[in-house]
Structure 1
């Protein structure tokens, strides 16, 4: 059920369509539709109502409700389509992008939170000489200062074997991502803490290299793996924020039903980051250690390619999939 503060005209509009929307909601979330054509027909009616509401009641919460139903319908329609690809490929190709599109605001929130604390970390390091050691630890700072004197600022990433570094780093990053998501059960505040912690570390870390006059050397080395690693952490943060929001803001659903949906969608977003986390671990274990002997064009090229890949998948591709599916539905 849904209850909004509305005008008399909108009251009539809601009253006229309320039963249809509730039936549609049951159809979507209880898998009661018989075939894709039935679902597509219901979806087209819903889109007509949404367009009407956007035109005549642009500030109404009815729009938010209908948008939520429409987004859920996208995923259901997709799942009932006859696909030539198998379930595994479909998950990455369509299902995850549609979920990311539906909850894209949490990706934005995660980036904003992380960016805020990166800034705080850098500013704090600039005004407090002891801050970097507090955040990164004396051991790391002292070792890196020695490496800078030797002319290899990122030599610390060359320690250990290739495979040992790859496995250890990847497991640690997977743990951080899982923790970021699970902590979302605390209303998203736990996830915010993880984003805060990592953001401050990144800000202090990069300012430290800037202060030592080797910022460029650090960027061309560390961000070979860092582009995917940090981006994945932010996306995992978005999954945690989604989980937290499903508990705090159940909207028209019971809190338990909302939590189950948030958990399910959040897990899918979390899983989608794993290939990027593995790729980042591989790069850190096998490529970053050779950054000091690489030509600039190669290290910068790797950074741009890895950043472009993960940015495209989470920021651009979801909109492409959304438009294609919307076009497909409109032609049914």
Structure 2
């Protein structure tokens, strides 16, 4: 840069540097405390200083001042822009908006993929049920070995009935099964969603396998005349828990479908677009699994009346359905 340009740059900086320093101070305060906590006069000066800085940046680019000055003004105006115009929403507001609008809207936009998850689970349960009725040995194929002890086709009907109605969780064999089922389903939900990106197949197969376990376990109790009893016991937490699995499957399948059928977009863009809703589905599934754990821990064994068990499980399921169908429609 020649001597004339250096003098012009120095004069330009000297005339405006005080404004830039004041703006930098206000931006630092806004970044540290938040714009909503600043005094009105400071927020007003911040907005006015941002406009003056952008004007200075435009002039500096026009007259080709030194690169260091341009980089400083670009960085300062970028920080000021974020302080003035970026959303000032708190964490509580983000969580509230997630549950009141963005999450149910994502569920409705992804209903086809969630239905695929429900079908995979249902077909798996039906297959497990029919295979057990054909040959009881299938129970040991589907059911993990650490759960088969005591709750297998070799168990007596009296024993199976006693653990369903045992009000002491420490003595309940089904309590161990439910604990395993929750941890198992949590892992399955994570795998289903994460592996869905691999062309949908892992998500579909894992959901189907989860249904096989459920179907075989139900068939065992139906065979002993305890189908209604087990259904009520599982309903308390199972309606929420299994629905969460299907939603996670829907998110995984949506990611896989974006790769298989990107349409006019590239794979990367299609995956980014699908991921916006898929991540929300995964978060909804995680919340539902937590709720299922609470229902399992506090209500499953405390409530002994079978009708009440069904009412709790399916009542909570209807609340989830109403939330998914009705919440966030005005915002949409």
TM alignment of 1:24-35, pairs within 5 A: none
Partner of 2:61: none
Query: SS in structure 2 opposite 1:321?
Result: coil
TM alignment of 1:77-116, pairs within 5 A: 86-116=93-123
Q: Is the 8 A contact 1:144 1:153 kept in 2?
A: no
Partner of 1:19: none
Partner of 2:239: 227
TM alignment of 1:153-172, pairs within 5 A: 153-154=163-164, 158-159=169-170, 171-172=183-184
Q: What is the distance in 1 between the residues matched to 2:97 and 2:287?
A: 15
- Kindly indicate whether residue 292 of structure 2 is the aligned counterpart of residue 283 of structure 1: no
Cα 1:96–1:182 shift into 2, 3 Å: same
Partner of 1:302: 312
Residue 170 of structure 1 and its aligned partner are, at CA, apart by 5.2
Query: SS in structure 1 opposite 2:136?
Result: coil
Task: Report which of the two structures shows the higher radius of gyration computed on alpha carbons.
Answer: 2
Q: What is the distance in 1 between the residues matched to 2:135 and 2:96?
A: 49
Residue 157 of structure 1 and its aligned partner are, at CA, apart by 9.1
Query: SS in structure 1 opposite 2:271?
Result: helix
Q: What is the distance in 1 between the residues matched to 2:248 and 2:196?
A: 10
TM alignment of 1:1-332, pairs within 5 A: 86-137=93-144, 140-144=147-151, 146=155, 148-150=157-159, 151-154=161-164, 158-159=169-170, 171-291=183-303, 294-314=304-324, 316-317=325-326, 321-322=328-329, 324-325=330-331
**Runs of 4+ off more than 6 Å:** 163-169
Residue 183 of structure 1 and its aligned partner are, at CA, apart by 0.9
Partner of 1:60: none
Q: Is the 8 A contact 1:170 1:278 kept in 2?
A: no
Residue 298 of structure 1 and its aligned partner are, at CA, apart by 2.2
Runs of 5+ unmatched residues, structure 2: 1-86
Query: SS in structure 1 opposite 2:162?
Result: coil
Deviations 1:268-312 (A, max 9, x none): 111012221111112222322234xx2233222212222212222
| C-alpha RMSD over aligned residues | 3.1
Q: What is the distance in 1 between the residues matched to 2:314 and 2:99?
A: 22
Q: What is the distance in 1 between the residues matched to 2:180 and 2:144?
A: 19
Q: What is the distance in 2 between the residues matched to 1:187 and 1:260?
A: 15
Q: Is the 8 A contact 2:125 2:214 kept in 1?
A: yes
Query: SS in structure 1 opposite 2:265?
Result: coil
Q: Is the 8 A contact 1:157 1:288 kept in 2?
A: no
Q: Is the 8 A contact 1:185 1:244 kept in 2?
A: yes
Cα 1:210–1:282 shift into 2, 3 Å: same
Q: What is the distance in 1 between the residues matched to 2:106 and 2:204?
A: 21
Q: What is the distance in 2 between the residues matched to 1:209 and 1:87?
A: 45
Q: Is the 8 A contact 1:166 1:282 kept in 2?
A: no
